[in-house]
Structure 1
Amino acid sequence: MNSTDTKNDWDPDSSEVTADQVAAYDKMRNRCPVAHSESRGWSVFRHADVIQILNDPKTFSSTVSRHLSVPNGMDPPEHTRYRAIIEPYFGPERMAAFEPTCRSIAAELLDEVASHESDIEVMSELATHFAVRIQCAFLGWPTSLHEPLIQWTASHQNAVRQVDRETLATLATELETIVADLIQERVQNNAKANDDLTASLMHENVGERKLNGEEISSILRNWTVGEVGTISASIGILIHHLAEHPKHQTTLRDDSSLLPQAIDEILRVHNPLHSNRRTTTCPVTLNNRPIEAGERVDINWIAANRDETVFEAAHTVKLERDSSANLLYGAGIHVCPGAPLARMEMLVFMEELFAKTVDFHSQPKTSAVPESYPASGYSSVPIRFQFQR
């Protein structure tokens, strides 16, 4: 039996789901935790089932596309070799060295918006700008790329919402060209490994050879698309939550030591990443549902991290909740290697935001606009800030 023979359990493109995908996935987790649909294949909503997938990469393969994706689109042993190259770029020494730059970027951006207005649409005026500036600084890319990447991100998000595959293909080519030009520039200038992170990647070896251009380009594309999308979504979610929950905002302003754990908890309740895909390599049973080899399986992070059987009062943010079961950064061999960078960036941004504001809350008579599949978070977060004067 293949997916065309499988009874569909739900319609993820129905108006009920698209109106509030978080609530819809909560319902699916309880009604049909492993559910089939024509458009997404198998969707997995329960924490326990997601853990089973993450801990069994042999059955649930990450090689889901014909396009090279280093290393997140690979399985062992290939994944293991490339992962060993990637991880040191997010080690403690690099994070400590980058932290002052990150703080300077956050402070400068907040000063810019504070100078001309207090009513701010967070996603377009703060979150995306921060994510793009940070990513360019981390990779050693020029500031001249800020605006092109911001425009690219906006176009990409719109094409994703519209499921415009033709535009998405064009945008993918545009980003590939940007990355290829950056690599070629360093080749022509005989860049040394310590010049910047991009140049450093060009001097890395896999086995007995250097990474080739396609591999370097894949790594940089994955980092850029993933980092900009998730960091901007995370900033929007964090600010929206604290604007809507002034007691939490006050608590964190009074005790910033709670911020790291609180950030993870807020993003557990509203995950900035929608889902990740796997493909079955053999027949398998998941929560009593038989799944054939070669089937698409979507890990729904939003639902899994709101599972009541794992998290007491799962829909409620508890700032000091134990985060050991939190799947914000995944688990298993594909746990996000960039988690230290993401955590540092969000912590620094929130520290600077608190330092430069007295208070912030939602703008009167306006509401945040939730994102829709395959994105998460919000497409618009209108906030009124009271800046320090």
Structure 2
Amino acid sequence: MSEEQKQKCPVDWNPRDEYAIDHQIEVADEMRAKCPVAYSEFLGWSLFSYKDVVEASRNVDAYSSGVGTVEEIQQFIKEKGEAPAIPLRLDSPAHKDYRIMMNPYFSMKRMKEFEPSSRELAIELADNIIAKGSADAVAEYSDPYPVQSLCRLLGWDANDWRLIKEWTTTNERARVRGDMEMLKEVNTKWDAYIMDVVRARRIKPEEDISSWLLEQEKAGKPLDDAIITGILRLLLHAGHGTTTASISNVMYHLAIDQDMQARLRADPSLIPRASEEILRVDGPLVAMPRFMKEEVELNGRKLCPGDTVNMMYLGANRDPEVFENPTEIDIDAKRAPHLIWGTGPHVCLGMPLAKLELRVALEEILKRTKSFRLQDDVELRRLRYPGNSHKALPMVFEPA
């Protein structure tokens, strides 16, 4: 959108308003009802309805994720000094090629083989917080577990999990603030860390994704270092934060609903269904962006090539046009498919891993407790865009 177009475009809402920051779910509901296709200076266009988010997710001809050909990727690397996040920020044909290459690494078969190793971590962390009697469930459980589990899957040193968390947080903060200097600084450190691992695997391959990527080819040639770095940085960035938020959100709702908690403890087979329904109502991620390639009209608003569009999952997953009693958590209700993991060609690559970790984390904490609840008289603080969860969850655990 040109500067002239921006000046003519009415501003419908301000996602940086303090109320909007502190009440992301409520504001998403309000905007979906009064202005489902809304413009703001910070985000550009935001789509709040289920049907519009599905359309933007599936209509890849009009809504772009980034670059789509080998030549465009190389031009991006030349201009930016780094590869785009692969495959997240790719369009087809490049996106399809890289998804076909990477999907087997997150297959159900591989997840089944990996589950015992991941569960071992969850058991250790769960035992630690339950033995204390009270603990911050975020800092001591939902935060360390997914990133340590991811490191195990990737064959990386799980002791570096705090460093990876720090880089992820700094990266997100820099992007939200538009601080390109901070972003460049943290990504330089991140890329150097990744390349140290890649160089070590070239000398001594191991059974991990870094060694596996070194064996892959595109157009008969090995992947270059920039491409490998783009893939690994995305996995290290996107492969744990939303899972942390998901575990936190489900634990919070179980802590305030003892009946549902007891039901899942008595019948663990309900955990996946209950988790998905809780996350439909209180999801871990506010939005994902797209970039217009074609002119599209939605709800009387004209979206032009070059415009940024955000798919607001918090609003879409609570849309009364699709979900009856949309703000209520009902694990017995027959629901339409939610959009927690996205839909269309860009459905979450790491979804099998995230679902495994979410299920295992809840199975182990429920198995080892008679109950858990929030500590008395605590004031909870929510995360801010782009995440939607709690910064801390002080809880009391009664051992089984």
TM-score (norm 1): 0.93
Q: Counterpart of 2:248?
A: 236
DSSP 3-state at the match of 1:84 = helix
Q: What are the residue-to-residue correspondences of 1:94-109 with 2, within 5 Å?
A: 94-109=110-125
Deviations 1:199-237 (A, max 9, x none): 112211223222221111111111111122111111111
Q: Counterpart of 1:130?
A: 145
Q: Counterpart of 2:88?
A: 72
Seen in structure 2, the aligned counterparts of structure 1 residues 236 and 160 have a Cα distance that, compared at 3 Å, is farther
Aligned counterpart in structure 2 of residue 60 of structure 1, from 63, 86, 92: 63
Q: Counterpart of 1:275?
A: 287
Distance in 1 (alpha carbons) for counterparts of 2:294 and 2:5: 12
Distance in 1 (alpha carbons) for counterparts of 2:66 and 2:168: 25
Distance in 2 (alpha carbons) for counterparts of 1:15 and 1:324: 33
CA contact (8 A) 2:125 2:140 kept: no
Seen in structure 2, the aligned counterparts of structure 1 residues 69 and 302 have a Cα distance that, compared at 3 Å, is same
Aligned counterpart in structure 1 of residue 384 of structure 2, from 368, 372, 376: 372
Distance in 2 (alpha carbons) for counterparts of 1:202 and 1:110: 36
Distance in 2 (alpha carbons) for counterparts of 1:161 and 1:270: 21
1:333 aligns to 2:341 (yes or no): no
Seen in structure 2, the aligned counterparts of structure 1 residues 3 and 158 have a Cα distance that, compared at 3 Å, is closer
Deviations 1:169-213 (A, max 9, x none): 322222222111111111122x16xx2222112211223222221
Distance in 1 (alpha carbons) for counterparts of 2:25 and 2:186: 28
CA contact (8 A) 1:261 1:323 kept: no
1:211 aligns to 2:223 (yes or no): yes
Distance in 2 (alpha carbons) for counterparts of 1:198 and 1:159: 27
Distance in 2 (alpha carbons) for counterparts of 1:127 and 1:160: 24
Aligned residue pairs total: 384
DSSP 3-state at the match of 2:46 = strand
1:30 aligns to 2:19 (yes or no): no
Q: Counterpart of 2:360?
A: 348
Distance in 2 (alpha carbons) for counterparts of 1:336 and 1:4: 35
Q: Percent identity?
A: 32
Distance in 2 (alpha carbons) for counterparts of 1:88 and 1:161: 33
CA contact (8 A) 1:310 1:325 kept: no
Q: Which amino acid aligns with 2:112?
A: A
Q: Which amino acid aligns with 1:293?
A: P
Q: Which amino acid aligns with 2:192?
A: T
| Residue 108 (structure 1) shift | 1.0
Q: Counterpart of 1:92?
A: 108
| Residue 162 (structure 1) shift | 6.4
1:47 aligns to 2:50 (yes or no): yes
Q: Which amino acid aligns with 1:265?
A: E
Q: Which amino acid aligns with 1:59?
A: A
| Residue 160 (structure 1) shift | 6.5
DSSP 3-state at the match of 1:103 = helix
Distance in 1 (alpha carbons) for counterparts of 2:302 and 2:109: 46
| Residue 305 (structure 1) shift | 0.6
| Residue 358 (structure 1) shift | 1.3
| Residue 56 (structure 1) shift | 0.6
Q: Counterpart of 1:309?
A: 321
Q: Counterpart of 1:298?
A: 310
Q: Which amino acid aligns with 2:150?
A: Q
| Residue 83 (structure 1) shift | 0.8
Distance in 2 (alpha carbons) for counterparts of 1:275 and 1:221: 20
Distance in 2 (alpha carbons) for counterparts of 1:287 and 1:335: 25
DSSP 3-state at the match of 1:42 = strand
Deviations 1:284-332 (A, max 9, x none): 1122211111100001111111111111111111113335421011101
Seen in structure 2, the aligned counterparts of structure 1 residues 162 and 296 have a Cα distance that, compared at 3 Å, is closer
Deviations 1:98-137 (A, max 9, x none): 010111110011122333x222112222111102211110
CA contact (8 A) 1:359 1:385 kept: yes
Distance in 2 (alpha carbons) for counterparts of 1:324 and 1:210: 42
Q: Which runs of 5+ in 1 are unaligned?
A: none
1:171 aligns to 2:186 (yes or no): yes
Task: Compute the RMSD of aligned alpha carbons.
Answer: 1.9
Distance in 2 (alpha carbons) for counterparts of 1:324 and 1:141: 38
Q: Which runs of 5+ in 2 are unaligned?
A: 68-75
| Residue 280 (structure 1) shift | 0.5
Q: Counterpart of 2:71?
A: none
| Residue 38 (structure 1) shift | 0.8
Distance in 2 (alpha carbons) for counterparts of 1:8 and 1:107: 49
Distance in 1 (alpha carbons) for counterparts of 2:213 and 2:137: 33
Q: Which amino acid aligns with 1:235?
A: I
CA contact (8 A) 2:287 2:311 kept: yes
Distance in 1 (alpha carbons) for counterparts of 2:154 and 2:6: 41
Aligned counterpart in structure 2 of residue 185 of structure 1, from 179, 186, 200: 200
| Residue 5 (structure 1) shift | 2.5
Seen in structure 2, the aligned counterparts of structure 1 residues 163 and 358 have a Cα distance that, compared at 3 Å, is farther
Q: Counterpart of 1:251?
A: 263
Distance in 2 (alpha carbons) for counterparts of 1:78 and 1:161: 27
Distance in 2 (alpha carbons) for counterparts of 1:158 and 1:366: 26
